Amino acid sequence: MASKEDPLRDMQKCSINLKVEEDKKETVAQREREDSIDIRCTEFPDFSEEFRQIIKTGWLEKTPPKVGKYQRRWVQLDSEYLRYFQYIKEVYSRGMVSLESVNKVASVEDKQFELHCQSRIFQFRAKSTQERNDWVGCIEKILSDRKNSLEPRNLFFKNGSVNICFEGNLEMSPRTKVYTIISRDKLFLFRSHEEYFQGVGITDIDMRMANVRDGEKKRSFTLTTPYRAFSFVANSVSEKQKWCELLNECVSRSLSCDGVCESIWRVPSNRFCADCSSSMPEWASINLCVLLCEKCAGLHRSLGQNVSKVRSLKLDERVWTDDLIRVFLLLGNGKANQFWGANIPPSESLRANANSEQRLKHITAKYKNGKYRKYHILFGQQEALNRALCSAVQLADLLDTLSLLNCGADIKCNTGIPEFPSPLSLAKHSGQMVQVELLMQNLNSESFTPVVKDVSIRSHSGYLFKTGSSARPITDHKTKADFSQRWCCLGDGMFSYFKNEQSLNKCGGMKTSEIICLSVNSPGKHGYEHTFELYSEEGKVYLFGTDDGSIAKNWIRAIAMAVLPPALFDVCGTCDRLGRLRCTEGSHGIGWFCLSGFKLHALLEDNVQTIDLRKLVTLTLSDSSDSLVMVWRGGPLHLLADRRPHFVGWQTYIQQKSGAGDQLLSQQQLTDLGVPVTIDRCLDHITRYGLLLPGIYRKSGIHSHVTKLLERFQNDARSVTWCESEYSVEDVANTLKRFLREVKDGVLNGQENSNSWLRAAGLENRSEKINTYKILLSNLPDVNRETLRVLIHHLVCVQHLCDENQMTVRNLGIVFGPTLFQTDGTDVTPSQVMDELIQNYCSIFNVSESDLQRQLNMTSVILNKHKSQRSLSRTPSSTICAVYLEKKEEGADVLVQVAADMTVFKLVSVVLELKGIQQANEEFWSCYEILEKEGMERTLHYQERVLPLYFSLSCHCHLLIKRNQYIISIMRYLENKVNLSKSGPLRVCEVKSESSRNFHLRHCELSGNTFRLHKELQGSQCEREYPAKELKLYHGCRRKLHPPTPWGLMLIHDKQQWYLCCENEDELTEWTATFYSIQYNGDIWPSW
């Protein structure tokens, strides 16, 4: 009885805790995940000890294998193994005996007892007869509790629940052979393969704390744990790699499981399979809310996703959100079985050692048919059930909801509340996130009211038509005559086809694991209306067809589910192409993909990511077409070809679906916001450079430029960039207009829809008209709606500045009406619609007046040359630059996004802000161009543009931001100057080669805008003269030249360089100040 009460009490405690949390958060609509209860243990849990359930420990004397003296051993007994250690605190045993292999335990003379294993007898001697009898009693109890038949292979693992990943011989230094097995999260060591079979081992190593490293020798590797390092030598290098790979996998697997398992197993009833009571269930059905052992999970899966969504606690970690874990803490096996298993007669209950047939029968009856469930009091009264569901989801009781959902309440029923039409939205509104989770998991489940289908989705059979297999992609049209009828069967991991239903000899087939790709052809491609292709691992292509669409659909779905990992089941329903591909980002270099329209669903590690191919940043096919690289918001993805025919198809599909310029608006390449790239780039350019241009959108550009630019956009919009001078604003404006005018079906999505807008314009009642526009807008496809929104927003900005650009609302209407409606302009209604869309922008597009005003102000700010970086951050000509702060050091670079027009001043303030440095008074920071080899530096003027400079840096140069030591003295010097000029003697060296190190005193002069270099000190003969503004001035001391003084300057003009040495610091300051002042017309520092 006690064991039954404990779980209940535990659960009550648990739900009390949760209830407190629920109450608290009711006031907070948007719950922060971090604030929720701590479900995942942050500490490293050591619960395997706890669950090992040690039954007895103590010192015993044991006979060694060969006859000899007794050895004193610390012996530990749990329900699975007897282990013996040399010391009490030893972590790794000297030996362990699987109790499955023990035939009997016998008391013998002199306080001794014997453990009779299959091939060996272990002798132990206790300190007293009483002690000996205790040991024998305990072991006998375990042996008699044993339920399972003895299968020799599984002697070592209880319940036959073996999960061996890898096994084989290793050498353990020094020169000891061990037979090693990776199973679950442990590594087991045996003296030999025979001993493993006999159920006798050395020890097991918990991989959660282990670390795998390469050894010193080629074939060796080391497993380190906090307690001990184990060194192994494999038979070959490749075998070593295999071991390391699998052990590493084992480490991460064992770590990843801890969070979820530990949390969920905290409720005692969750520690046993809900169906057969096997211990430590690692699987769950997330819609039925039960935890399952591996065997039961397999049969749940065979019922299909619509009945039971099976997920692993260990492998599907991403599924396990905190809310889902809470569902399992609140319900879990205890409560869920109060519902599912309320009426199980003892004769129909399931035991841990049941066979598959018994399991399937029980599980089908229990969940699919609901045979044992506890009927809800309202069962059979649909209306009342639905109403009960609506109120249940607003409260905390999950069991009530589970019971309603599985007794006929409609999860999609109408609540009668317009704002929250579904139970799901009601639950969200009430802040019942756990209810939300439970509903979400059940949204696609089969409810009990419809007739239960009896066919397992994973096996499938029927007639299909098939052509001969091919080693190349099938490009030519196949007529019906090319096909022959075959009876096809899918099941037991095989896809096979036969001459007919009665035929016993199959004509051919393949393992489902060998199907690497399934591709669905567009209808009518071949003689049979619906065809699909299967690609095998060995490089063959099989074509199947039928005229019946639903037959094709069922086959595609069945094959998809047989081929794909379960994580993709939810998305594989209506896909065009699916399968696996080599890719650098996937686990073990393999990724699983489903292509459905524009969406590419990718399973790379353990979560499914969905890539909208239209929104790719770049797509690159290598010339030799042996790889494909796409960059999307989530990063790059490299697909690698493997010379098999399926890759070509992937390439073609992805390229086609990534957006094409000659297609509908919704099939174009898109920005992240879902606007065609072409439109976004054009609007961006015009906003920057054209808003103040009189007659923008009325003036025509150069025809050939417009044609060229439009072609480039159509070809590959995302690769188009241009510099300001390449196309005039008028060119870009006309490109935009032509794109809008020519794009298939237009922004308004076809003639019929366009006509609706025109009809709406004729409505007399203004508010009725606006409402109709709103409805028409909401009926547009997403891309069209978003395009219209940004376009009208842009036009609102244009007309806002109509004093300067002369484009009034009326003018814009006249230009854009016929463009958007793709008409010739004889009808004025299109212009009227545009006019009204611009005038009523806020109400039609649901924008608040104040938001619009803010945006308009921002536009003005940009135009007034206050370069606001934030609003321009979308510029395609921006790049990420690395600059250093104070000193160039490894890892000390600061990465800054630099737009085309970012100034040095801005860069400095951005970097200081990024690094949290506040500029003190009297402290001046500048950016320097550093020539690393020469040890020279140039102070960059605060208004200099960063980007062109950054791109011109050679590889031994970098940008450095640091305090400017000289600026104050330079300013002071300039303060009182009226006539700016400087002349005097300097030691000059013309740097021609490394060897020219001759410094001569020369007369130098800086006046007007010219720098003059005289041949001699006194001579009036001027040898060289340069415009001062064209010189670059560097500071520093170039040691290789052995300069006579440390106060050096370098002047560079084209490829000529002079090194000038001043006599002292003051002189250096004076020359520098004069140079700066002339070069920048006195504007040296922003605040002065």
The residues of the shown chain that bind Zn ion, judged by CB under 5 A, are 273, 275-276, 278, 293, 296
CB of 276 to Zn ion, least distance (A): 3
Gap between the Cα atoms of 987 and 1001, Å rounded: 4
The phi and psi torsions of 204 (rounded to 5 degrees) equal -125, 145
Q: Are strands 484-491 and 494-498 parallel, antiparallel or unpaired?
A: antiparallel
Question: For residues 289 and 949, which CB has a smaller minimum distance to Zn ion in the complex?
Answer: 289
CB of 514 to Zn ion, least distance (A): 30
Cis status, amide bond into 174, omega within 30 of 0: yes
CB of 461 to Zn ion, least distance (A): 29
CB of 218 to Zn ion, least distance (A): 45
CB of 179 to Zn ion, least distance (A): 30
Question: For residues 51 and 1088, which CB has a smaller minimum distance to Zn ion in the complex?
Answer: 51
For the four alpha carbons of 438, 444, 448 and 449, in that order, the dihedral sign comes to positive
CB of 274 to Zn ion, least distance (A): 7
Q: For residues 310 and 363, is the Cβ–Cβ distance under 8 A? A: no
CB of 292 to Zn ion, least distance (A): 6
Longest C-alpha distance within the chain, in Å?
Answer: 124
Gap between the Cα atoms of 94 and 707, Å rounded: 82
CB of 275 to Zn ion, least distance (A): 5
Question: For residues 293 and 561, which CB has a smaller minimum distance to Zn ion in the complex?
Answer: 293
Question: For residues 293 and 720, which CB has a smaller minimum distance to Zn ion in the complex?
Answer: 293
Question: For residues 278 and 875, which CB has a smaller minimum distance to Zn ion in the complex?
Answer: 278
Q: Are strands 95-98 and 186-190 parallel, antiparallel or unpaired?
A: unpaired
Question: For residues 284 and 474, which CB has a smaller minimum distance to Zn ion in the complex?
Answer: 284
SS3 713: helix
CB of 459 to Zn ion, least distance (A): 22
CB of 294 to Zn ion, least distance (A): 8
Gap between the Cα atoms of 1001 and 992, Å rounded: 17
Question: For residues 300 and 1002, which CB has a smaller minimum distance to Zn ion in the complex?
Answer: 300
CB of 285 to Zn ion, least distance (A): 11
Q: Are strands 1000-1007 and 618-621 parallel, antiparallel or unpaired?
A: unpaired
Q: For residue 437, what are the CA distances in angstroms to 292, 313, 329, 769? A: 19, 17, 13, 42
Contacting residues for 814 by C-beta, under 8 A, at least 6 apart: 831
Question: For residues 276 and 439, which CB has a smaller minimum distance to Zn ion in the complex?
Answer: 276
Half-sphere exposure for 882 (CA within 13 Å, toward CB): 11
DSSP H stretches of helix in 179-221: 193-198
Question: For residues 334 and 423, which CB has a smaller minimum distance to Zn ion in the complex?
Answer: 334
Q: Are strands 879-885 and 957-963 parallel, antiparallel or unpaired?
A: parallel
Question: For residues 293 and 307, which CB has a smaller minimum distance to Zn ion in the complex?
Answer: 293
CB of 298 to Zn ion, least distance (A): 10
Gap between the Cα atoms of 956 and 933, Å rounded: 7
* 688 C-beta neighbours (distance < 10 Å), count: 16
Which amino acid does the sequence have at 818?
A: P
Token pair listed for 819: 């463009």
Give ∠ CA 336-341-347 in degrees, rounded to 5: 155
Question: For residues 204 and 275, which CB has a smaller minimum distance to Zn ion in the complex?
Answer: 275
For the four alpha carbons of 143, 145, 148 and 153, in that order, the dihedral sign comes to negative
Question: For residues 160 and 462, which CB has a smaller minimum distance to Zn ion in the complex?
Answer: 160
CB of 299 to Zn ion, least distance (A): 9
SS3 9: helix
Token pair listed for 675: 């606007």
Gap between the Cα atoms of 1035 and 935, Å rounded: 9
Nearest to 215 by CA among 194, 238, 244, 253: 244
Question: For residues 268 and 818, which CB has a smaller minimum distance to Zn ion in the complex?
Answer: 268
CB of 336 to Zn ion, least distance (A): 14
Token pair listed for 372: 């044992």
CB of 354 to Zn ion, least distance (A): 8
CB of 341 to Zn ion, least distance (A): 13
The phi and psi torsions of 1051 (rounded to 5 degrees) equal -110, 135
Gap between the Cα atoms of 905 and 21, Å rounded: 51
CB of 293 to Zn ion, least distance (A): 3
Token pair listed for 478: 């196949």
Q: For residues 420 and 457, is the Cβ–Cβ distance under 8 A? A: no
Contacts by 117-123, CB closer than 8 A, 24 or more apart: 117/198, 117/199, 117/200, 118/155, 118/198, 118/199, 119/194, 119/198, 120/65, 120/198, 120/200, 122/62, 122/63, 122/97, 123/62, 123/63
Question: For residues 361 and 945, which CB has a smaller minimum distance to Zn ion in the complex?
Answer: 361
Token pair listed for 96: 């362990």
SS3 216: coil
Contacting residues for 853 by C-beta, under 8 A, at least 6 apart: none
Q: For residue 208, what are the CA distances in angstroms to 44, 90, 180, 1082? A: 9, 18, 17, 68
Token pair listed for 716: 């590959």
Question: For residues 201 and 341, which CB has a smaller minimum distance to Zn ion in the complex?
Answer: 341
Q: For residues 85 and 93, is the Cβ–Cβ distance under 8 A? A: yes
CB of 363 to Zn ion, least distance (A): 9
Nearest to 937 by CA among 948, 953, 922, 914: 953
Question: For residues 7 and 649, which CB has a smaller minimum distance to Zn ion in the complex?
Answer: 7
Question: For residues 296 and 489, which CB has a smaller minimum distance to Zn ion in the complex?
Answer: 296
Question: For residues 310 and 541, which CB has a smaller minimum distance to Zn ion in the complex?
Answer: 310
